[in-house]
Amino acid sequence: RIEIWKWSISSIQEHPALGVGIGNFPVVLRQNIRLADAGSSAHNIYLHIAAEMGIPALVAAIWALWLICWRALQRFLTEQDPLLVTYWAGTVLFVPWVAIYSLTDVALFDERAFLLFVTTVALIMTPSHE
């Protein structure tokens, strides 16, 4: 993984604004582009985003993740219903765990994991009934 991370950082330095393009990670590793279907990745979602889409996309992704964490914490602190307090406590633990786990994997880009994450984010970001 460390070798892949080094290649990723080199690619980010070469293509900082727009990256190499979505789905083109094998280009970062100087592999055949057909390996994109085989799951070629940076094994780090942040490096993967920056390598494929550039530093501005990485900043936007980190900012969005921060907003999601902040909103989950707000929902937890202001909720009165005991059942929902439990749910929001779970999200306060779940979202940072996803952020930390993503340092070593891009599993969030799997369609099933992404669907669960986006559903959770939608619930977090829905306006409260206050």
Q: What is the mean pLDDT of the chain?
A: 89
What local confidence, expressed as pLDDT, does residue 50 receive?
Answer: 95
How far is it, in rounded angstroms, from Cα 15 to Cα 92?
35
Which one, of 96, 95, 108, lies nearest residue 43 by Cα?
108
Mean pLDDT within 44-63: 95
Q: Which has the higher per-residue pLDDT, 88 or 35?
A: 88
DSSP the chain: -HHHHHHHHHHHHHSTTT-S-TT-HHHHTT--GGGGGGT---SSHHHHHHHHH-HHHHHHHHHHHHHHHHHHHHHHHH--SHHHHHHHHHHHHHHHHHHHHTTS--GGGSHHHHHHHHHHHHHHHSPP--
Q: Is the pLDDT of residue 119 over 90?
A: yes
- Tokens 């970001």 belong to residue: 125
Percent of the chain with pLDDT over 90: 67
Res 74 pLDDT > 60: yes
Q: In Å, what is the CA distance from 106 to each residue of 18, 50, 71, 81, 84?
A: 19, 13, 23, 35, 29
Pair 68, 94: CB distance under 8 Å: no
Q: Kindly report, residue by residue over 93-109, the tens digit of the pLDDT.
A: 999 999 999 999 888 88
- Tell me the pTM: 0.86
For residue range 12-51, list pLDDT tens digits in order: 999 999 999 888 888 888 876 665 555 678 899 999 999 9
Position 130 scores a pLDDT of: 58
